[in-house]
Each structure stands twice: as C-alpha cells, then as structure tokens.
Structure 1
Amino acid sequence: MNNILSLRSRRIRPMAVLTVLLLALALLSGRIPTPAYAVTNTAVTVDGTSSGRTFDGIGAISGGGGNTRLLYDYPATQRNQILDYLFKPGYGADLQILKVEVGGDTNSTDGAEASIEHTKGTIDCNAGYEWWLMEQAKARNPNIKLSALSWGAPGWIGNGTFYSQDMIDYLMSWLGCAKQHGLTIDYIGGWNERNYDATWYENLKSALVSNGYASTQLVGGDLANWNIATSMKNDTSLYNAVDIAGAHYPCVFPAMKSCSSTSDAQTLGKPIWASESGSENAENGAAPVARGLNRGYIDGKMTAYINWPIVASTYQNLIFHDQGLITANQPWSGNYSVGRTTWSIAQTTQFTSPGWKYLDTASGYLGGDRNNGSYVSYAAPDKSAWSSVFETMDAAASQTVTMSVAGGLPGGTLHVWSTDLSAPGTANPHMVRNADLTAGGGTYTLTLAPGHIYTVTTTTGQGAGTATSPQRTQLALPYSDSFAGYSTGQEAKYLSSMNGAFQAASCGGGRSGECLRQMAPVQPIRWVTTPSTQPYTLMGDLGWSNYTVSSDVLMEQSGSAAEILGRAGTQARGNDGLNAYHLRLSDTGAWSLLKSNTSWTWTTLASGTVTAPGTNTWHKLALSFQDSTITAKIDGTTVGTVTDASYGGGQVGLGTMGYYPVQYSNLSITPGTVPDLSGTYKIVSVNSGKALDAVGRGTADGTLIDQWTYNGGTNQQWTLARNSAGYYTITGVGSGKALDIPYFSTWTGTQLQLFTSNGGANQQWVIAPSDNGSYTIETRANGYMLDVAKNSTADGAAIDEWPTNGATNQQWTLVKLS
C-alpha cells in the first residue's frame, strides 16, 4: 500500500527531487497513468429534453463502527467548524444524505453504538450521538435527507434472531424516538451486508405504513451485489415493499475507475443506489471518489452515492481510523484536517439538489475513452438551472470541451469552479472560482487540465470554508473523571465503546450521583464474529507509556467480573483482538493480570485471590506501568508485580468479562516517570534492521530520507532533542537539518526529507514506547507514523508518513551513540 518512489541521486536539486517525487506519487496512486492516452476534444450539448433518471443525492454514513464518536467531545468551536464543513450549504461537502447506524450495543467495525433499548420495553430516546448529529445536519441544511440502517441489534430481539417481529418493533420504536427529536427519517434499511429476508422486508413495509411512516422509503439489499434487484423482479410482494435497491461498493475498489450494476437492476423501474461506497483515506480517496460519483451513473445508472464513513473520528489504534471526509481524532486539542475527499464531493453537491434530473445525452466519457475522464450533467426539474461535472483523474494531457445549451435550459454566462487533485500535497487549490464562460458562436469552450474536477454551472452561492484547525497536542496527564456530572444515558468524555454500552446511570452501593455502567445485559446480535466478545471501552493517548490507571468498580450480580485496561494499542480488524494488559477482579475475589493480543490470545501474567468483594460494594483497581514493570493493586494493596515488555505504551480502558452490569467511578490516570530520550542515535527499523538514512549523504534542504544498511556515516546519525511540550526534533548529525514532512503534506506515502529547522509541527515528533522495547515516531503535523514504504527490507526503500497500523515497519529501535 505504501506507494512511493525512492530516489538516491545527489545530482538532482532538492526542489527537482520533490517535483519528481510528487509526480511519481501521482503516477503510482492511479491519478496520472503511465501510458500516454490519446486525448480527443469533446463536444457536449446540455439538452433539457434529454432522457435521464432522477438524482437522489450524495451522502455519507455515520456508523458502521463508531466513526463519529470522538466528534461529539470536540470543543464547541472546532466541532461547529467540522459540522459546517460537512453539512453547511456552499461551504464544504454540503452532504445531501446522512445515513446513520441504528445502535445495537455491538462492535460494527471500529466500535459499538448504544441501543435505545438494551432491555425489552425500556426505551431511552437520548441514547447515543446519532440524534445529535442528525439534528446538527438538519439545522445547517433543512433539506438534507436522513437514512438509517442496522449493523447489529440488542440480544433480546427475537431471542437472538434479527429477522423477527421484535426487530420490526424495535425499528418502529427507533423511528418514534426520531420523531421525539423532531426528525423525519426518509429512508430505512434492513441488516447491513447480511442476506436479506423477503418476508421480513414485506412485514417491515406494512409496519411502516400502519405506524404512520408511509413516507419512509425502504432500501433493500445493502450487499456487495445486486441480488435484491433480481429477487424484486421475480417477487411482486417484495417489489412492492422495497422502494430502492442498494448495493455496496459497486465501483471497483480502490480506484473506482469502473462501476457496474446488473441488467435486472437497471431495468427494475425503481431507483438503484451505491448505498455504501468509499472506504478511502480522507486525502488519497479524493480521486477515486471523484471518479465514482460520475461513473456510478454513467456505468451503472445509480442515482445516489453514500460514502463510508462520514468522518475519521475514532482513535488511531482502530483499523479504519484514517477514512472519511474529515480526520478528527484529537478532541482534547480540537485538531482536525479537512480531507480532499470533501472537495471531490463538493464539486457535485454544491451545484445540484436531490430531485434534479440526470441528462443522459450530456453524460459520458471524454473523447469516448474513460482514461480521459468523465462528465455528468444535471438539470433542475423546472429547467431553471443546470450543472455539468467533469473529472480528468487519469488524463495524460490537457483537453478541450466545447459546450452548447439546448432544450429550454438557460445559457448566458456560465460559472466554472475547479479542484486540483493532480498531485499530492496540501497546497493544491480546491473549490476555486475560475473565469466565467461566455458563448462564442453559440458554444462555450473550456480547457480541462489533468487530475482536476471542474463544474460548469448556471447556479450561484458556492464557496469553500476558511476555518482552520489548532495544532495537535498530547492529552496531558494527570487526567481524571468521576463520571458524576453526566446526564443519565450519556457516554463519558473521550471513552469509546468497542463492545457493549457504557453509559451514565445512577450509582449503586450507597454512592450518590452518576456512575458509568455497562448497560447491555445479554450478548447482542453481532455484525462481526470474534473469539472474544467481552464489553470494553477505551480512551486516551496512544503515546502514554508510564502511568497508573485506576478506577472504582462495583459488580451488581453474582458470577461477574470487572476489569481495567492499560497500554491498550493496536486493535485488529473487526474487533478480532487487542494488544493490552488487563487487571480483572471477580465477585468471588479471584483476580488476574492478563495480556491479550490482536488474535485474542490471552496470557496470564499473575493471579490470586483476595477477600470476595461480592456484589453492590465498591472496590478500587489500579494498574501501574513503569518501563517493563507492571504493578497490580486492589483496594490499595499490591497483589502482583510482573516484568513484561510486550507493550510499551497505549490507552486505558474499562471492561467486563461478559454482558452484565458493572459500574465504574473515579477513573484516574496519573503520570509515571517518562525518560528524556535526548541524545544522538542510530534509528533502526524493526522490520528491516536498516538505519534511517539521508539519501546520498545529502545535507541540503529537500534531501530525501530512506533506509540503508548502517555504515557509521553521519547521514545515519540523528540527534533527538525534546522541547518543553514533550515533542522531539530529529536532526541529522551530518547535515544539521531537521527530519521534515514536505509542505505539511497529509498525503499518505509522502517521503520525508531534510529541511532547515523551523519549529513547525511537521518537524516535531512524538516518540513513544511500542512493542518489545521498540518505539513509534509520530508526526505532530497530522498523527501519521514514520514508516518504511511497502514494508520493504531493501536498501534505498523510502521513509514516508503513513497512518498508524501497528506493523513492524512503523516500529524503531533507538541505539544510543552519545
């Protein structure tokens, strides 16, 4: 995945090196093809009498894994800025559809969302944060459409059977909660990416009508195929029940150069949607999304595109933490990054509206060749306005489009907006107002540069937001939360549930106020199946290493156990495992200090027995980490001390060993002694055993960084100096220049360079203990990791920045030289 060019020539000037690097990145990421395709100029007639389907909109998904969880805890100023970039018309993505998860208390990719009904008959219409998000979206754009879909469900439903009357009743209760929040749900689906049940769909449709939700349309399928369309054509009752056929990822992942649907889907006589697509990095996904928005209709006649997910607002130890439109994973600092995917979407959404009509005769491939790019045109139902969107992601050269207007559509002056996706970097112009077009001899002429999106339109009111983010900071210790001040049902600040539901509830055991309580009483109907299903919730900074985490715990029923977690790091895809230490106490007094890994293999490091705590009494658990020494305490008494260096740092957490109620109070994290690593080192990749190296022994600004067998040269020696905020500058001994991310790039795979020290965040690094005595080196600029490209073990492999993945090509050994 780490596509990057390695350059070792000392004869290329630094800026030339960077230019070649950026072009190489573009080539390798699929934006500019290696072969030179023949470019043919294209004539487009935008004709209001053209046939075409009704455009249903472009949207994004909050859910399928708690991807919006941290956004809720952002400071109000930055939170509002992010919401504006997502929903405010004429400002950012201007989303036209918001699809949310119907919470089910179970992990649905990168977390679990709380159910409104953990126990049958007890409904909390304020549970979760999706109500808040929908309200915020509607406040900014009253015309946005709302959609809902389930990934899992509470375990009481149908005695563990999703396709049951219980589930239909549950969805009716959920829609009732939406009504209480003043929200109308426009679309609802069945079970995400699970085989559908035709009779259940029919019964759900009947329930919608009989309960006053006849206007809520039923989306069927939500699988990575179009089987639902064939079933609908062969089953009249199913056809009448399902209003929209949806498929997931119908555009070939990841480049989205081609999309497809079946003949049955295209001749269904009902809308067909890309009801989930995307799964792309917020920056690198911009070009694929630009293709997919156009080609989904051109190739497959799909009339809606819904991106998964909406934001990357999860912790960085989760597998999809970099995907969405905006990255926002530091609520304590307020830092966020508006990805270029936002502007890929804006180039369509800011110039159209659901209900507009596609114009088939003004949609297609430039010059008849998909390698030149694509274009799609839309017109308002009353023909009062129109827009055409062109993308040239794969074009080899500039090309010309001549446009004419017919069929009752307005002409006159046409407005042009563009976004440059031609090369990696943060300086690429987005949503730029270009010179207007005026007709000459009845036609308009526009030159299209490669790697761009252009929108030609008669509409006005577009723009790009100008709000900026604060810098990243580490979450400072000490940190504490009593949980006493939350409203009943609320999730605790910074805590993100991975399984189960951790919400505020009245304290037991004679303690007044609110505590945090695991609320799911039985194992939910799961979306992912893993060998370990215990509920737990995580919070904090992955850079924490030496600290003490403690919490008061109370078990409510016999046979239960509570635990606290420390140094929680990488979580495997689908909740298949977690690197962490656990201190567990049962109601019988049995305790254990355990280690889990990313395949949920458990290792007992120490165990024993204390006086049985029983139920409904409070007890304090504490885990202390100092380098490789781990100390476990219960009620202030040390019960075990072990030495283990498997995990050098990570988050804290709270958990249970099963689906039953456990309460928590007075969470506390206090710092231990963090060593100052200042000094001179060789920095060695754990994956390859090769040293961090300045290419060709270069000393000039722009010299690229690679890995090379250690030879003792000063271009392989680095001085680490820590500032007062705890960030390190890494300076080459031979050059006196700092390790630097070119131009603050957020493009994954950007090769690092040397540059004169300037104190910028792109020259500041978090150096944190990782696995087995190694370290991770994280840039303050965007949270990406120092990374050996493509896991290479070869001399000359590029050193780049890449999202956290827990692999050994992001782990480094620091060998002190002086």
Structure 2
Amino acid sequence: MDPQMTRPPRTLAVLAVSSLLAALGVVAGFAAPAQAATAITVNGASGGRTFDGVGAVSGGGGNSRLLIDYPEPQRSQILDYLFRPGYGAALQTLKVEIGGDTNSTSGAEPSHAHFRGDLDCNRGYQWWIMEEAKRRNPAIQLIGLPWGAPGWIGNGTFLSGDLSGYLLSWLGCARQHNLTIDYLVPAQNERQWNAGTTIAVRNALDANGYGNVKIEVAEDWTYSPADQFAANPALRDAVDAIGVHYSCGYLTDQKTCTSSATAINSGKALWSSENGSQDYNGGAKPLARGINRTYLDAKMTGYQNWDLVASTTPNNLWPTVGLVLANQPWSGFYSVGKDVWSIAHTTQFTEPGWKYLDSSSGYIAGNRNNGSYITMRSPDSADYSMIIEAMDASGAQTLDLSVTGGLSTGAVHVWASNLNSSNPADHFTRQADITPSGGRYSLTVQPGYQYTITTTTGQGKGTATGPGQGTLALPHTDNFDSYPAGREAKYLMDMQGAFETVACGGGRTGMCVRQASTQAPITWKALSDPYAELGSTTWTNYTVQADVMLERSGYAELLGRVGGQELMNPGALNAYHLRVSDTGAWSVLRTNTSAQTTTLRSGSTAALGTGRWHSVALGFSGSTITATVDGAVVGTVADSTLGSGLAGIGTSQGQTAQFDNLNIAAGAGGGTSPVLRNVNANRCLDVPNASQANGTQLALWDCNAGANQQWTATAAGQLQVYGTKCLDAGAGTSGTRAVIAACTGAAGQQWRLNADDSVTSAQSGLCLDASGAGTANGTAVILWTCTNGTNQKWRRS
C-alpha cells in the first residue's frame, strides 16, 4: 500500500525546515500550524534512565480465564495480538497472579499448593499464558505477584515464615515449565508488605539457586520501600524495583503523574506497575498519555496495564477491561481494542535496555495540554524512536527536529493512530517516510493522534479477525471425563475456592470436579463460600442439574440466574441457590449485591450423608423455581426478582464436595431428570421407536435427549417416561424384561437409585441390566442378579 494513502488528515512531514513553506504550498487544504513550531534536538548523547518495558497484568483475578478455552485458530490469533513482536501490542513484560484460591477481582485463581504438603504445578492457566508469551517473545520479562493465598500459609497470616517456602515452590513450578521468572513480589498486592519478609525472601532466593530472580515491592499506592532504605540497608540491598499503582490516578485520563523524590533518587528502578482498569477501547488515550508522562513527571521506567485480556463473562466485574475483548470461547469471537495500538506505539519501536534521552523528551512547546513526547535510543546509540501524543491539543503542532549525538540521520519511518476514531483502519498506520536533510526534518501532529517516528524497522499490524458473536447454546453438558486431574473444566470460572478435576470418589469411575480448597483462604476481598459459574447472561428458562457427593458434613449447592456481584464481596451476588446438606436439609435462596440472603423455601428430605452420590436439579420457568433431589421434586416457589443469568455450583467453606454429570438444559425441568446413561455402553435407556404401547421392552440407544429417553424419578419411587408410563418389571426374576406400562403404583414399578449408580427393583432387589453386557444399539434391558458390573451402572446425565 502507498503510505501516502494512509496518511491521517492534516498530518504533514517535510524533508527539511527550509522547505516547509514550499511544501505547505504544495499540499492543498492543509491549514498552517496553530502555533509556532517546537524545536527538538534529538541528541544521542543525552543522559537518561534505562527503559524497563511496557506490559500488562494477567491476574487479579480470573480476567484471563476464558482465553484458554478458545478454539484454534482464534486462540493463537489473540495471543499473537498480545505478545508477538511486530504484530500487535508486542508486550515486553507480563505480570501474572500467583493463585491463592480466593477471589482477587473478577474471579479466583487456583493455588499450586491448596494445603500444606500439596503441590501441583499444572493448575490454572497462568503457566500456559507465560509459555505462550515466551514462545512468541523469548525476551519478555515475567513477574509473579500474589493477591491472596491458601489459609495454611502462616495459619492465615500472609507475611509469615511460610511465605518464602510457598514462593520458592511456585518458582520451582516455573522451572518445570521451562520458565525463568525475572521478578518476584514478596507482598500481598495492594494489601501488605514489610521489610523483614522482603529480606527473608531475598535470602531464601539466594540460598536456593534463585539469585537471578529480582525483587519488586510493594505493589501499592505508596513509595514506602524507598522511605525505609536509609534506615535499613539490608532492605535497600534486597530490592531491585519499586512498583507503584496508578501513579497518574485511578480511572483518570493520566494527564499528570506523581512520584516521590526519595524514590526517584533511591537508585532503584521505579515502575508504574498497575495502571488502566479501563475499557479495551476507552483506555487508549489515557495509555498514550500515561506511558509518556510517567517518565516525564515521575521518572518511572516501567509501565504495566491492568489487565491483559477481557476474558470473563459480562456479569462479572470489569468485563471489558483489557487489551483484547475475548469473552466467548464457544463462538470464537474476539475484538482487538484501540488499547493494543496505543501500547504498540512504544513496544514495537523500543526494547527494555534502551535509554531515555531526557533532553529529547518533554511537553510540546512546554505545555502539557499540547501533548508530550519521549525519545529513546538503542544500546548501540545508532537507532532511536520518538513516541508523541497530542491527545488534548487544540490545534496542529509542528515539531522541528535536529538529530545529533551519533544517532542515525537516515530515513525516518512514521506511524500514526487517530485515537479519536473508532475505525480500525485509522489505528497504527504506516505513513510516508521522511528523509532528513543534514539531520533535520519536521513533522506536524494532529489533535487526538499518537505517533511514532523511528529509524527501526520490522513493525506491523496484525490482520487476523475473529468470527461474530454467539450465545453458549443449550444443552450444555460435561461429564468431566476428558480432563486430566487438576484442571478447570471448560467455561467453568472459579469465583471463590478452587474447583478442579479429580478421579471420582464414592465408588464412581471417571473424573469429577471437586472443590479443593480445604480451609478459608487469606482473602483479597471479603470471604465468601466457594462457588464457580458458567454460561450466558441471557439464559432465562433452564434447568441446571448435577450429581453431587459430599465428602464431609456441610452442603453443596446449585446456582441459577447468576448475575453481577458487589465490588469487594464475591458472596454478594444476584443469584438463586438450591442448597442441600448432608442431613437432608434443603433450601432455595435468593442473594443480591447488597449481601442480603432471602430464604424462599426450605425443607428436609432423606439424608444425603457423605460419600454417596445424589442427583440435584434447580429449574426455572418464568417466575416458577423448582428444586429436585434424587429425581423427586422437593419444592417449588414463585419469585420473579431475577430473570436471567448464568448457572453455577458451590459448597460450604472448606467442603471438598464432588460434582459430576453437569447438565444445563433449556426448559423448567420440574421433576424431570436427565437421561439414564449406561456406563458400560455409554448409551441411554430408551423406549424403542418412541412407542407408548404398554409392554414395550426397553433397550439401549444413542443418547438423543428425546422424550422417550427422559426418566422422571417420583417421590413414590417410580421412573416415569412421557409423564404417564412407568418402568415396570412386575414381580420379576433374573432375565425378566424391563418394559413400560401405565403407572398404577404397583410394587413392580418402584425403583431405587443407588449411590453406586445401580438401579434396583424395590420388589425383587434385582438390578436393571444391559443384557449380556451388550453395548450396541438395541441391546435389551432386563432384570438380573446384581453383580456390580458397569453394565448395571446408570448415570443420570
């Protein structure tokens, strides 16, 4: 493409100052600059600090959760836009959360050590994100920071003797993933740090082969580490960088940034280590200002945007904050924000280790309202890049530049973004090159634009695009058998606690999801019971069903119509809950963002006990809510407060309950349970040809969610199909056919759904059996002596 064709309106680059007026006469329709030109000497010999990079934060928490569930090629395309040099944001640093089993902003991230002595280096998705970042940019610097921690750390005390070992084990996990961590933060993000713990962690790193890992503190809003250096030389020696949050203000335009003279003069790197918290498009102009002005105003050499990617569902907090919106892995949809291109104006033209040129950086015409510019040179003093922003200028601004001090006086490449425009074609566009004359040239910049002028090459703008948006379709089912142990199930987002796959207990084969946090964590927000959610904010009438096994006294629950949560309390959320306890007590609850809990209906059913599997369902149809336990409706209630939302699972605090055969299906559900799936054949109990004739023998068939495969367990112990026919075996002996018959209440129509997944005749005690252990479609279903074989196991999913 001819670079002239992508020139932003009213942008003018001329060969030399002496030819400026002539060029202005040639380009018709361009007004003269609004004020006198600003003379800038680009002096490669100028002093300045060392640049530490621009990056982003993945964590705090759960905001990157859905990215790993994206299909290819969209997942790789998103990762390219974040990390690939010369393509998109080209991030130079990446800070990740050291998961702590607790909600740390938009969700919870799992710890590598849920309890003392536990270790699993493959939990969560941050290892994967770091690996993908390194694969694209081997030079990217990695930083680890905890927001919370499992409750065993210091018996609930974060700054304790346990912390060093906990962080060392996390670094050991990084080694297993062939990742080198560059910086570690021995502090609780925005909550607490102290000198003693910082020094202890430094000593532990040195003693355990991690002397190359640097320490950054304190990841809060103060410059307190620097204030303590004079009186504490050991602390000064332990710390490599001071990280401060929102040095230009929180949710501001980032026009003015502040620092501390003590910190500036401390001899340590000074970073604006968390900024942004703004929409993936709306944060672009603040980013353009802030990346420049944190150095100009505060001598900060590192800048990290919170957060990396907006990859959580819209009901959660800050759902569009990040560089890329990627919240629909089921559809593959994603959208690259203007924020990416604002960052790219720095990252694609510099590298950590470059030097700021102080005398070649400042405010245009000495007025911060006109915009700002910073200049950096390469370590060999040959190349340079100048990043210019004119976000608030009232008119065009002309810069007259003179290059000296050993820098290249060759061709200058110009890139520009109109950040006032929502048209992607106006972002990060290559302009006409400028050929300096005697090291001199001019550039006229326009209001609302960001520019980079550079002698480097290799930059580019990614071209990949994602598909359109789509809703997660129902039914959504997951038996969790496809995952290895210790993983998070697809689309299931931890909000508090840690829900991960394990080998099923209670005599059940296959994999289940287990809430693995065994005690209350050290929180970043208010403490709530553990829960996880998934789905769409548009879901209205549906039934969420799961098999549940309690491992200890307490309760498990299903959630429905889940909406938003309160800012600092994950337990204060809009949702309905069906809670069932080991004693058999059950309740239907409604919670809201004001932390109010209303009991809509409650009662008691047969005790669930522990170590036994049970089926639980929560259904919605308009204002009618239906609670089902083991196939029997235990209660209904009318409530129209919450009309739509996600589904979820949860437990009481410390309850390590297991869940299996999650099924979310359209329709109210009522007493309707899912199909009965034969474990051996992986086929369903079926009425052949959807017959309704009495005496039709039942068989196995591919599960298809047809009405002839939907079996309702009633309070009377019947298994009904079509609402009028019952599973019947009469007085049966081994070999008796299982048939359907009109429901009469006869003893031969009563069945027990057992915790070991067997289904037995209440009259004969014999088991429902796939004849001859057959697995093919059409295999007859009969009664047979119970053998504990998998052909006699039936799962309600």
TM score, norm. by length of structure 2: 0.79
DSSP 3-state at the match of 1:230: helix
- 1:38 Cα deviation after fit: 7.0
Task: Show the counterpart of 1:565.
Answer: 559
Partner Cα distance (1:215, 1:354) in 2:
17
Q: Which residue of 2 aligns with 1:121?
A: 117
Between the aligned partners of 1:132 and 1:195, the Cα distance in structure 2 is 28
Displacement after TM superposition at 1:479 (Å): 1.1
Indicate if the aligned counterparts of 1:546 and 1:673 stay in contact, CA closer than 8 A.
yes
Q: Paired residue for 1:95, among 83, 91, 95?
A: 91
User: Aligned to 1:317, which of 315, 318, 325?
Assistant: 315
- Structure 2 residue identity aligned to 1:544: W
Show the 5 A alignment for 1:520-539. Answer: 520-530=517-527, 533-539=528-534
Q: 2:625 aligns with which of 603, 625, 630?
A: 630
Which residue of structure 2 aligns with residue 610 of structure 1? 605
For structure 1, the residue ranges without an aligned partner over 5 or more in a row are 1-36, 675-818
Q: How far off is 1:40 after superposition? A: 4.2
Q: Pick from 273, 289, 310: which aligns with 1:275?
A: 273
Match of 1:516 among 499, 513, 518: 513
Structure 1 residue 538 displacement after superposition: 0.4
Deviations 1:757-800 (A, max 9, x none): xxxxxxxxxxxxxxxxxxxxxxxxxxxxxxxxxxxxxxxxxxxx
For the residue of structure 2 that corresponds to 1:288, the secondary structure is helix
User: Which residue in the other structure is 1:574 paired with?
Assistant: 568
Identity level (%): 54
CA contact (8 A) 1:150 1:191 kept: yes
TM-superposed deviation, 1:310: 0.4
Secondary structure of the structure 1 residue equivalent to 2:568:
helix
| Equivalent residue for 1:41, pick from 32, 37, 40 | 37
Paired with 1:195 and 1:630, the residues of 2 have a C-alpha distance of 44
User: For 2:230, what is the secondary structure of its paired residue?
Assistant: helix
| 1:11 corresponds to | none
Partner Cα distance (1:273, 1:408) in 2: 29
> What's the offset of the Cα at 1:167?
1.2
The answer for the alignment partner of 2:225 in structure 1 is 228
Contact 2:106 2:317 in 1 (8 A): yes
Q: Which residue is 1:643 aligned to?
A: 638
What is aligned with 2:492? 495
Compute the displacement of 1:673 (Å).
Answer: 7.5
Alignment partner, residue 453 of structure 2: 456
Shift of 1:230: 1.0
Q: Distance in 2 between matches of 1:427 and 1:62?
A: 25
Could you tell me how far apart the structure 2 residues matched to 1:341 and 1:595 are?
Answer: 39
CA contact (8 A) 1:233 1:264 kept: no
Once the two structures are overlaid, the 10-residue window that deviates more, 425-434 or 354-363, is 425-434
Is contact 1:39-1:372 (8 Å) kept?
A: no
Cα distance in 1 for partners of 2:474, 2:279 equals: 31
Q: Is the 8 A contact 2:479 2:660 kept in 1?
A: yes
- The answer to whether structure 1 residue 392 and structure 2 residue 390 are counterparts is yes
- The equivalences for 1:237-248 within 5 A come to 237-248=234-245
| Letter aligned with residue 628 of structure 1 | S
Is the 1:147–1:188 Cα contact (8 Å) retained in structure 2? yes
- Residue 550, structure 1, aligned to residue 548, structure 2: no
Correspondent of 1:504 among 495, 501, 504: 501
CA-CA distance at 1:466 after TM superposition: 0.5
- 1:16 maps to what in 2? none
CA distance in 2, matches of 1:381, 1:563: 59
For the residues of structure 1 that align with 2:658 and 2:264, how far apart are their CA atoms?
A: 53
Q: Distance in 2 between matches of 1:164 and 1:302?
A: 31
Aligned to 2:655, which of 635, 660, 664? 660
Q: Residue 586 of structure 1 aligns with which residue?
A: 581
CA deviation after TM superposition for structure 1 residue 188, in Å: 0.7
Residue identity in the other structure for 1:581: Y
- Does structure 1 conserve the Cα–Cα contact (< 8 Å) formed by 2:529 and 2:650? yes
**Does 1:328 pair with 2:326?**
yes
* Native 8 Å contact 2:620 2:668 kept in 1: no
Deviations 1:506-545 (A, max 9, x none): 1001111110000000001001125xx1000000011000
* CA–CA distance in structure 2, aligned partners of residues 637 and 412 of structure 1: 80
What residue identity is the alignment partner of 1:179? R
SS in 2 for 1:191: coil
What amino acid is aligned across from residue 394 of structure 1 in structure 2?
Answer: D
Contact 1:480–1:668 under 8 Å retained in 2: yes
Alignment match, 1:810: none
Please say if 1:180 is aligned against 2:176.
yes
Query: Does 2:64 correspond to 1:68?
Result: yes
For 2:468 and 2:596, locate their aligned partners in 1 and report how far apart those are by CA, in whole Å.
38
Corresponding residue number in structure 2 for 1:78: 74
Instruction: Decide whether the 8 Å contact of 2:555 with 2:655 is kept in 1.
Output: no
The whole-number CA distance in structure 2 between the counterparts of 1:427 and 1:113 is 33
Q: Which residue does 2:212 correspond to in 1?
A: 215
CA-CA distance at 1:605 after TM superposition: 0.7
Aligned equivalent of 1:808: none
Partner of residue 53 from structure 2, selected from 54, 57, 64: 57
Distance 1:223 1:561 in 2: 37
Per mean C-alpha deviation after superposition, the further-off stretch among 356-365 and 230-239 is 230-239
**Rounded Cα–Cα distance in structure 1 between residues aligned with 2:331 and 2:200:** 48
Supply the AA of the counterpart residue of 2:465: T
CA distance in 2, matches of 1:597, 1:39: 56
Q: Quote the Cα distance in structure 2 between the aligned partners of 1:99 and 1:244.
A: 14
Q: Which amino acid aligns with 1:285?
A: G
Question: Is 1:670 paired with 2:665?
Answer: yes
Which 4+ runs in 1 deviate beyond 3 A?
Answer: 37-40
Displacement of 1:44:
1.3
> How far off is 1:39 after superposition?
4.2
Shift of 1:232: 2.1
* Matched position secondary structure for 1:516: strand
Secondary structure at 1:234 match in 2? coil
- Distance in 2 between residues matched to 1:616 and 1:493, nearest whole Å: 26
Could you report, residue by residue, the CA deviation over 1:346-381 in whole angstroms, capped at 9, with x for unpaired residues? 000000000000000000000000000000000111
Contact 2:543 / 2:668 at 8 angstroms: preserved in 1? no
Q: Which residue of 1 aligns with 2:415?
A: 417
Structure 2 SS opposite 1:79? helix
How far apart are residue 451 of structure 1 and its match?
Answer: 0.6
Alignment of 1:141-156 (within 5 A): 141-156=137-152
How far apart are 1:403 and its partner, in Å? 1.0
- How much does 1:485 deviate? 1.4
How far has the Cα of 1:233 moved from its partner?
3.2
* 1:39–1:313 CA distance, 2 compared to 1 (3 A): farther
Structure 1 partner of 2:15: none
How many angstroms apart in 2 are the aligned matches of 1:287 and 1:302?
19
CA distance in 1, matches of 2:647, 2:608: 23
CA RMSD across the alignment: 1.3
Q: State which structure, 1 or 2, has the greater radius of gyration over its C-alpha atoms.
A: 2
Gaps of 5+ in 2: 1-32, 670-797
State how many pairs are aligned.
634
CA distance in 1, matches of 2:212, 2:655: 39
Counterpart of 2:79 in 1: which secondary structure? helix
- Give the conservation status (yes or no) of the 8 Å contact 1:318–1:572: no
The question of whether the paired residues in 2 share the 8 Å contact of 1:377 and 1:387 is answered with yes
- State whether residues 318 and 573 of structure 1, in contact with CA within 8 Å, keep that contact through their aligned partners in structure 2: no
Matched residue, 1:365: 363
After the TM superposition, which of the residue ranges 124-133 and 220-229 deviates more from structure 2?
220-229
Deviation of 1:442 after TM superposition, in Å, equals 3.5
Instruction: Work out the CA distance in 2 between the residues paired with 1:647 and 1:325.
Output: 32
Cα offsets for 1:124-181 (capped at 9, x unmatched): 0001100000000000000000001000001001000101111110000000000000
State the 1:427 CA deviation: 4.3
Kept in 2: contact 1:551–1:620 (CA 8 A): yes
Letter in 2 for 1:471: G
- In the alignment, which residue of structure 1 is the partner of 2:165? 169
Rounded Cα–Cα distance in structure 2 between residues aligned with 1:395 and 1:411: 28
Q: Is the 8 A contact 1:569 1:651 kept in 2?
A: yes
